[in-house]
Amino acid sequence: MENQNDEITTVLKYEEIPELRRKLENIGVATESQNRLPLFEPTLRPTYRKRVFENKYGKIVIEGRLGQAHKNLLEAILWKREVYKHIEIEGKKYLKLVYDQEKIRKYLSQGSKYNYQRYKTLLQDMIQTYIELETDKVRIKGTLIMEVEESLVKKPIKSKSPIIPKQTPLTAVIFGAVGTALIDNELRFTYDPKPITQLDNGISQAVVRFLLTHKRHPKAGYHLKELIQNLEENVEGQKWWDIRRFLKKDAERLQEIGIVINFKEDRLFVPDGRLKV
C-alpha cells in the first residue's frame, strides 16, 4: 500500500526506538467501547455472523468474527508496541504501529497454545470484520485493522550461525478507520493483559475488561446478570447457566485478579475497589 510521511519505516533505525518510544504519548491497550461494548464477543470461539447490539454505552453493528482471542492479540500488540505514528492515506489519517512479532509470540505462548497460523487468522479476521459504531464520542464505520505488513525497520539478530540472517524485519500494523478513531477519540486504558489471557473462558475475560474501565465499584456488588447484559445479547435459559458455569471454572483466577462472585446470590464484588491487573 502506498503511503506518505512514513518516518517509522523509511528513516527510523532499530537502535533509535527506545529513545523515540520514551517521547511518545501512551496510547494504552484498550478504549472505552472496546471493553464496554461487545465489539469482541465474550467467547474464545466466535463464529462468522452479523451482530447488532445496543446498551447504554453505544450501539454496534458487526459483520465478521471477533472474540476474546482477537482481543488478546490486539492488546498484546499494543502492550508490546515499539513505536507508532499517524500516516496519511488518500487524504485520511490512520494510526500505524510497529511491533516485534517474536515478542508477541513469547508473550502469548502458554505451553503449546501459541500457533503461528492462528495468529495470522486472528489478524485476518480483524482486517475483514466490518464494524459500525455509534457512541457519544465516536460515530464511525470500517475495520479495526486495515493492513499488516513487514516493516523496513530491521532488528539485529545475535547468532554465529551462517544460515541465520543477521537481522529480521519488525511488523507494522495499520489500523483501520474504526481502530484509529477509537484510540484517537476515546478514553484509553493501560494494563498488562497477561492475567486476562490466562483465564480459560471468554466471558471471564470480557467481564474483567469491562470492569477495568470503571474507577469505582459498588460496595454492595454488581447484579451478575445485569453486568453480563452489557456483554452478551442472550442471558436467558440454558445460555445463562452456561455463562455461570464458565465463570465458576475461572472463579479462582478471577479472585486472584480481585473479583469475587457469589453464585448463590448472583452478585459480583471487587472487594479492594480495584483489579490486580
Cα 35 from Cα 17, distance rounded (Å): 29
| pLDDT above 90: residue 89 | yes
Domain boundaries, the chain: 7-189, 194-269
Tens of pLDDT, residue by residue over 160-217, are: 666 666 788 999 999 999 999 999 999 999 999 999 999 999 999 999 999 999 999 9
- The contacts found for 225-229 with CB under 8 angstroms, 24 or more apart, are 225/266, 227/268, 228/203, 229/55
pLDDT recorded at residue 9:
46
H helices present in 3-44, as ranges: 7-10, 17-23, 32-36
pLDDT recorded at residue 109:
85
| pLDDT above 70: residue 7 | no
**Residue with more model confidence, 113 or 86:** 86
pLDDT recorded at residue 167:
80
| pLDDT above 80: residue 159 | no
Mean pLDDT of the chain: 92
Tens of pLDDT, residue by residue over 95-142, are: 999 999 999 989 998 644 568 899 999 999 999 999 999 999 999 999
Backbone angles phi and psi of 50, in degrees to 5: -100, 130
CB crowding 43-56: b at 16 or more within 10 Å, else e: bbebeeeebebeee
pLDDT recorded at residue 2:
44
pLDDT recorded at residue 163:
61
